[in-house]
Structure 1
Amino acid sequence: MTDTLILLDGGTGRELARSGAPFRQPEWSALALIEGPQFVSEVHRRYVNAGADVITTNSYAVVPFHIGEDRFAAQGRELADLAGRLAREVADAAPRKVRVAGSLPPVGGSYRPDLVDLARARPVLEVLVAGLAPYVDHWQAETLSALAEAELVADLVRDKGKPLWLSFTLHDEAPLTEPALRSGESVVAAARLASALGAEALLFNCSQPEAMQVAVRAASAELGEASPIRIGVYANAFPPMAEDAEANSGLSPIRADLTPTGYAAFARAWADEGATILGGCCGIGPEHIAALALLRAVATT
């Protein structure tokens, strides 16, 4: 690990729930925007205090899937704007430079490439992009299950003048020698697409830590040392998700072995394979990010 390592934040939904914020299904993390935005600001501050260089807008659940078609039509732009503004305020108040990532989620639900509907997703993502645009430093398309989702996001933000980070979720139980997205498309194909779309970073998120190292290795080999594209990882703390799991159906159990120390050990391996962006997804909290910050500090002294 070197001083070029960028630290992301961790999961927002779990941290909101843990902090006592308004939290229930189906609204999930969006409920705090609606009923208790101060909790969102506090979660952002916790991650900044832990050492994160990037905080992510709490816009992942600002989609009809979570807040309903009627509420999205009436309040979607307003809630996206609020998510962006809250993150920007915390970043600007930080004692060091902190960037804001504009979270653009899978509209049909996480982990389900079979639910990808580009025609339905486009108008939803257009609303999120419009609301977040004034506040973000880069776009972060997250938990993408299929390459087509990345192509759609790239098209929507192409004229916004801000970098694009693409983050794919992996098949947790794919053979370790052949890392693949949940759609079955290869990590190599994702790396090629990231390059073709001019992405600034290619990441892997919301998958088992064990699936990440080989994915980073495959992406690094495909992109090559001369590539300007950064590679990153922010894993979740769940057991493997079944292919037919109901998307975003509830809070999954957290693995007992993924303590801050245990997670940092995985992160060190990802960095050794070429990852220069590290953070956490669902179930990974400020204490885990603090452990990554400590690793970075030790490596640079």
Structure 2
Amino acid sequence: MSERPLVILDGGMGRELQRRGAPFRQPEWSALALTEAPEAVVAVHRAYIEAGASVITSNSYAVVPFHIGEQRFAREGEALAATAGQLARAAADAGEQQVRVAGSLPPLFGSYRPDLYTPERVDEVLAPLLRGLTPHVDLWLAETQSAIAEVRAIQSRLPQDGKPFWVSFTLQDEDTDDTPRLRSGEPVSEAAEAVAGLGVQTLLFNCSQPEVIGAAIDAAKAVFERLGVDIAIGAYANAFPPQPKDAKANDGLDELREDLDPPGYLRWTQQWRTRGASLLGGCCGIGPEHIAQLHAHLR
């Protein structure tokens, strides 16, 4: 596998909104700003672009019943997803550099909770997101996925629009063994084999401790080389302490690790780049100042 050109991704949205004084509370999380402070969402997107990101992710992660409630999702889910797409597109098109927009397709029934996956409700939750985002995004990103089954379900329902499909899994980062695993317990090697059969262009690992990502990159790379498939690998870790198995992503603002300041996080991304990752950014707690370090030093 020859070394690919580096693609710099953006960082986390929720904490940046809160840091900028945007309305921010549970359970709506980052979705609250879509209606109450859309200008702040654009500002965060622009901050990442100015830091060097060439791919930004729509602020649609919390546009699911898990965050905004069943009734509001049924009433406004598609419109909120459309707003997320519009704001990202506006930010991407505001500068001279070429920036792609990834349409965030989050865990449909709860982050870090593969046990809550409800296959009979996939259409109900996914379809409004796809309809709202479709006119505004350049690619699809199923992110923070905990289990292979949900990714298969999402892929089978994507519009036939020719847009690339990226998948990002979140990893077990507590009570780990020698085998890198998704939060479902499924080995990363099985996940890599699965996405290779789904026409996925890029496999990433996100919303996990930096310490577990390197082994996941190695496992995925080995599978792709064995299968002879050309799939890019990337990573965007979070800056939190290890999350227990009963934790919920976005269940409050966790304390950040002091060792994952911009220089500290850069050292991890340099290691991932050496191991074969060609798309690098950040998740929760990783801000524009981190992305600026990646842009300055990894290139």
- TM-score, normalised via structure 1 length: 0.95
Q: What displacement does 1:56 show?
A: 0.3
| 1:270 counterpart = 2:262 | no
Q: Which residue of 2 aligns with 1:148?
A: 149
SS of the aligned residue for 2:234 comes to: strand
- Other-structure match for 2:247: 245
Instruction: Identify unmatched segments of 5+ residues in structure 1.
Output: none
Supply the AA of the counterpart residue of 2:143: E
Q: 1:2 to 1:89 in 2, by over 3 A?
A: farther
Q: Matches of 1:246 and 1:287 in 2, distance apart?
A: 26
What is the CA–CA distance in structure 2 between the aligned matches of 1:247 and 1:15, rounded to whole Å? 16
Which residue in the other structure is 1:85 paired with?
A: 86
Identity between Structure 1 and Structure 2 (%): 57
Q: Unpaired runs of 5+ in structure 2?
A: none
CA distance in 1, matches of 2:217, 2:65: 33
Residue in structure 2 matched with residue 289 of structure 1 by the alignment: 291
- Aligned partner of 1:230 in structure 2 is 232
Structure 1 match to 2:123: 122
Instruction: Report the equivalent of 2:63.
Output: 62
Q: Distance in 1 between matches of 2:39 and 2:239?
A: 26
Say how many residue pairs are matched.
297
Map Cα deviations across residues 113-142 of structure 1 (whole Å, 9 max, x no partner): 111112223311111011000111100001
The structure-2 alpha-carbon separation of the partners of 1:176 and 1:98, relative to structure 1 and needing over 3 Å to count, comes to farther
Q: What CA distance in whole angstroms lies between the structure 2 residues aligned with 1:8 and 1:235?
A: 11
In 2: Cα distance, 1:245 partner to 1:100 partner: 29
The 1:239/1:218 distance shift into structure 2, 3 A limit, reads same
Q: Are the structure 2 counterparts of residues 246 and 173 from structure 1 closer, same or farther at C-alpha, using a change threshold of 3 Å?
A: closer
After superposition, the C-alpha distances for 1:63-105 in whole angstroms (9 at most, x for unaligned) are: 1111111111111111100100110111112221100000000
Q: Counterparts in 2 of 1:1-301, with a 5 A limit?
A: 4-157=5-158, 159-173=160-174, 175=176, 177-224=178-225, 226-246=228-248, 248-297=250-299
In 2 relative to 1, CA 231–176 (structure 1 residues): closer, same or farther, beyond 3 Å? farther
- Segment drifting more, 164-173 vs 153-162: 153-162
Assess if the C-alpha contact under 8 Å between 1:174 and 1:180 holds in 2: no
Structure 1 range deviating more: 256-265 or 151-160: 151-160
Aligned-pair distance for 1:161?
A: 1.9
Aligned-residue offset at 1:3: 7.5
Name the CA distance, whole Å, in 2 between partners of 1:228 and 1:62.
32
Letter in 2 for 1:259: D
Alignment CA distance shift 1:219-1:2 (3 Å): closer
TM-score by length of structure 2 reads 0.96
Q: 1 CA distance for matches of 2:297 and 2:149?
A: 36
